[in-house]
Amino acid sequence: MKAGQEIFCQKCNNHSFLVKKTKMDGWKKIGEILVCASCGNIIEEIKNDKTAASRKPDDSNDKLEKFASILGTEKIQKKKIEIDNKIFCRDCKYYIKHPFFSKCGLSNKEVNPMDDCNSFIKRKKCSEK
C-alpha cells in the first residue's frame, strides 16, 4: 500500500484514500504510518529499509574519480590552500575600505576585496605594531 491509494475503511465504512503521516515521539521521528483520510484510522505502518546505520558516508575521493572518468582524464587531486600565501586586495596595505566602494590607495582604482594584488604588501595588524 502507498499514499494516495483508494481504500475502503472498515472503521468508518467509507471509500477513502491513504495519507502518509509521520509518527513522532516528542520531537523525535520514530516512523511513518498510512492512515485513512476520513477518520484517521491507522491502516499500515511503513517500514523503511534504509536506515542511518546502513547508509555509507559519501567519499569525496570516490566522487572525484567518477568525475574524472566522465571527463576521460586522470584522477583530480584536491589542492590545499595555504593561508599564509594569500595575496588578496583586502589584506594589502594599500586597500581602502568604504561602505559604497573599495579602492586601491596605490593605483586609485576601484577593486574587489578578493582580487589578486600585483603590488601586494601585507598590512600590519594592530597586534604587530
3 pLDDT exceeds 60?
Answer: yes
What's the confidence (pLDDT) of residue 75?
A: 61
Q: What is the mean pLDDT of residues 64-83?
A: 69
129 pLDDT exceeds 60?
Answer: no
59 pLDDT exceeds 70?
Answer: no
pTM: 0.38
80 pLDDT exceeds 70?
Answer: no
Q: What is the mean pLDDT of residues 98-110?
A: 85
Q: Which amino acid is at 106?
A: L
What's the confidence (pLDDT) of residue 53?
A: 47
pLDDT band per the 50, 70, 90 thresholds, residue 19 = very high
Domain residue spans of the chain: 6-46, 82-122
The arrangement of secondary structure in 82-122, i.e. its CATH architecture, is Single Sheet (2.20)
